[in-house]
A and B are shown apart, each in its own frame.
Chain A
């Protein structure tokens, strides 16, 4: 009887720890295929990036921002950047070419879907925003504001591949295929 009790107790403890562990490290991941977004961007990449004349300036500053983000902050930073692009970049950019505009629109629609997914995570309190995530978002906003709006918008559009690569890397659902 004692052995049974001990084993049950151990089992219960293990289960509790597992649940805590999973809850603590359960990340809100965007299980979405980013491939079509990347393809859309590839089609307009040349045109968009050609317009970017300020090569020695970067808005996303990946070395200072994106590369320093910890897994716990990924959800918050992703959510913030998606909002940044949808609310700022896509609205600020004036695209005369309809074909390029069409591609940009498809990218924007994908971003809206990703925002919805993260919104559900936030309601479940799975997307906490810590100070580090907030600081990163602020730096990016500051970089964007240092440039002229159109140049900044173009530059930000040109840096979409950087952002998509970062999302793809941090939102992998399973470690191996």
Chain B
């Protein structure tokens, strides 16, 4: 290419043919015509001896964006002293302007950018060149065409490539020549319709894939391909006829990427999910562990064998044991002050530990706090539920609630008893049995209405007239002879309480008529004489009576329950209304079912 003479003046003096040829661009298309002129000149020279120097055969401009080079063909037989003069005319102006920087040079080209800066705004230029040798000079050779913006060949400055997740992203930089005046940028001179043709090939092949884009940014998808890709760009302006020149190849290597953003994001999401799952599991384990009951409160589940084994012999009579007055008063006081009195909750399951420790002689079922809840929630009859389950403290003298369905079974009998009581006892439900004498019969309804005896039903006294008067719940008392049995029984109970909750507690003492408490110990509603003993801890033989009674009374239907003035704690309604004795575990179990429900029943006054 023709170098700017002003920058390299020293090189202009020594030239050879090779350098002269360098000034000719590879796409020079004036060749055939310039050769024609040269031939003509050769032919004419003999006919015109002494003519001045031959003029350069042709003169032309070759221009890129702000890079305007004037080229001419050197004359034949030029000597070392031959140089060329260049003059420039702005089209429409009258005067030619001499360009001295191009003169006195043997190089057949000259950079006229600095003097043709207005090319993109005016109508063009005309240039002329003549050869000078000493005093001789040739004729001027003018450029055939007016040098205008249409003759500027479009190029790109550079192409930047980068690979991003399977895509080759390219950015085309327009040319930024240093000689361009401020404000004359490629984008400002060609503001619209700029287009670029992109040719991409994969090394080492030669097949090119072309694509035309209308912006300086482009992208090429390379799905899964790996290797080196080379890109060439040719600019153009669709509204103009300017020619474009292909840029040099810009290559980039595409390698397999494992650590792409997509892969990394998926990996981190998976890690987060795993951590969340582990945290949930840990939380669950922690909650479970917290939810385990302390061993003190865990009762052993009663097994059927225990139950049967503790059943009294059928011939045992249902005896009413006198209540221990002292202990009873203590308990009663405490119970009165307890939060369970008069409460409308589902029962009196959560007996205080003080009760357990202070009144061990009371044949009380183990207090089971869960029984209260289960009662309230309408737990179904299950030997294993409520007052059972887990190992219970043998010294527990607490209170255990009967199952709701058991209580359900008890409802009609109690109700019946209440109604049949002609003594005017204003039985308001569960009452605290007062027995100052400690006699089994001395049971009176001295309890306040709605007073809930935390103690479960005890064995009613048998055939004791004093007992008949009792309308509430009688705390079971024993005779002296029975006390021993009771004590022994207690001992036995203490040993047998494990795994068998308060529902059924029986002593195997043949002498004693301590019927096994089914569910709750404590207070047993006394039956009127005409009515058989309340279906509490009646012996097996006597248990048929309650059953018969029930048959007479008729198990209440579900509808009767609604009319019953017994207000159950929540949860009883959904229970199975019809409790068929036969559906339970044998006759024994049916009798167990008949055990009175205590504490959860409140009569509606």
Residues of A in contact with B (beta carbons under 8 Å apart): 34-35, 38-39, 42, 45-46, 49-50, 55-58, 60-63, 158-159, 161-162, 165, 168, 176-177
Closest to A49 in B: B145
18 pairs, CB–CB < 8 Å, chain A vs chain B:
A34-B239, A35-B238, A35-B239, A38-B241, A46-B144, A56-B92, A56-B94, A58-B91, A61-B92, A62-B92, A62-B122, A63-B122, A159-B123, A162-B148, A165-B149, A168-B239, A176-B192, A177-B192
Assess whether B144 is in contact with A49, with CB atoms less than 8 Å apart: yes
Which residues on B sit within 8 Å (CB–CB) of A56? 89, 92-96
- Which partner residue on chain B sits nearest A172 by CB separation? B192
User: B145, A46: Cβ atoms under 8 Å?
Assistant: yes
B570 in contact (CB, < 8 A): no
**Closest CB-CB distance, A151 to chain B, in whole Å?**
15
* Chain B, range 327-349, C-beta contacts under 8 Å to A: none
By beta carbon, the residue of chain B nearest A164 is: B150
Indicate if the CB atoms of A162 and B123 lie closer than 8 Å.
Answer: yes
| B548-590 residues at the A interface, CB under 8 angstroms | none
Q: Mark B82-109, 1 if CB is under 8 A from A, else 0.
A: 0000000101111110000000000000
Contacts of B240 in A (CB 8 A): 35, 38
B270 proximal to A (CB < 8 A): no
Q: Is B602 an interface residue (CB 8 A)?
A: no
Chain A residue numbers with a CB within 8 Å of B150 are 38, 42, 45, 161
Query: Are B123 and A58 touching (Cβ within 8 A)?
Result: yes
Q: A42 is contacted by which of B95, B126, B149, B241 (Cβ under 8 Å)?
A: B241
Q: Judge if B146 is at the interface, Cβ distance under 8 Å.
A: yes
The answer to whether B192 and A62 have CB atoms under 8 Å apart is no
Whether B241 lies near A35 (C-beta < 8 A) is yes
In the complex, chain B residues whose CB is within 8 Å of the CB of A42: 150, 241
Assess whether A63 is in contact with B241, with CB atoms less than 8 Å apart.
no
CA distance A39 to B142 in the complex (A): 23
Residues of A within 8 A of B122 (CB): 62-63
Asked if B193 is an interface residue, CB under 8 A from chain A, the answer is yes
Interface string of B237-254 (1 = CB under 8 A from A): 011110000000000000
Q: How far is the CB of B497 from chain A (nearest CB, A)?
A: 89
Alpha-carbon distance A8/B500, docked complex (angstroms): 92
Given contacts A38-B150, A165-B149, 5 further A-B contacts (CB under 8 A): A35-B240, A38-B241, A45-B145, A46-B144, A62-B123
Q: Give the chain B neighbours of A165 by CB distance below 8 A.
A: 149
What is the CA–CA distance of A104 and B73 in the complex, to the nearest angstrom? 31
B119-158 near A? 1/0 per residue, CB < 8 Å: 0001110100000000000000010111011100000000
Q: Is the CB of A55 within 8 A of B91?
A: yes
A58 to B91, CA, bound (A): 7
Question: Within 8 Å CB of A46, what residues of B?
Answer: 144-145
What's the minimum C-beta distance from B340 to chain A, rounded to whole angstroms? 74
Q: Who on chain A is nearest to B142 by CB?
A: A55
Q: Are B89 and A55 in contact (CB under 8 A)?
A: yes
Q: Which of A35, A38, A63, A176 contacts B92, CB < 8 Å?
A: A63
Residues of A within 8 A of B126 (CB): 55
Write out the residue numbers on chain A whose beta carbons fall within 8 Å of the beta carbon of B145. Answer: 45-46, 49-50
Min CB distance A165 to B, Å, is: 8
CA distance A34 to B92 in the complex (A): 24
- Is B123 in contact with A50, judged by CB distance below 8 angstroms? no
**CB neighbours of B89 from chain A (8 A):** 55-56
A161 to B239, CA, bound (A): 14
Taking CB atoms, residues of chain A closer than 8 Å to B144 are: 46, 49-50
Chain A CB within 10 Å, residue with most, of B95, B126, B149, B239: B239
Report B182-204 residues with CB < 8 Å from chain A CB.
191-193
The residues of B that contact A63 with a CB separation of less than 8 Å are 92, 122
Cβ contact within 8 Å between A161 and B148? yes
For the complex, give the distance between the alpha carbons of A46 and B122 in Å. 19
Which 3 pairs show the lowest CB-CB distances between chains A and B? A58-B92, A177-B192, A50-B144
Q: Which residue of B lies closest to A163 (CB)?
A: B123
- For B96, what are the chain A residues with a Cβ–Cβ distance below 8 Å? 56
Name which residue of chain B comes closest to A55, CB basis: B126
* Chain A residues, CB < 8 A from B94: 56-57
- Cβ of A152 to closest chain B Cβ, rounded Å: 15
> In the complex, what distance in Å separates the CA atom of A65 from the CA atom of B53?
41
Question: Chain B: which residue is nearest A50 at the CB level?
Answer: B144
Interchain CB contact (< 8 A) of B146 among A39, A49, A168 = A49
- Chain A residue, CB-CB nearest to B96: A56
**Which residues of B221-261 are within 8 A (CB) of A?**
238-241
Q: B211-225, CB under 8 A of A: which get 1 and which 0?
A: 000000000000000
For B91, the closest partner residue in chain A by CB is A58
Contacts of B146 in A (CB 8 A): 49, 158, 161
CA distance in complex: A162, B146 (Å)? 10
| B213, chain A: closest CB distance, angstroms | 14
Cα–Cα, bound, A60→B123 (Å): 10
Q: Which residue of A lies closest to B125 (CB)?
A: A55
Which chain B residues border A58 with CB–CB below 8 Å? 91-92, 123
Shortest CB–CB separation between residue A86 and chain B, in angstroms? Answer: 22
A39 touches B192 (CB 8 A): no
The smallest C-beta distance from B331 to any residue of chain A, in angstroms, reads: 86
Closest chain B residue, CB of each to CB of A40 = B241
> Complex Cα distance A23/B89, Å?
43
Q: Which residue of A lies closest to B60 (CB)?
A: A46
- Chain B residues with CB below 8 A from A60, complex form: 123
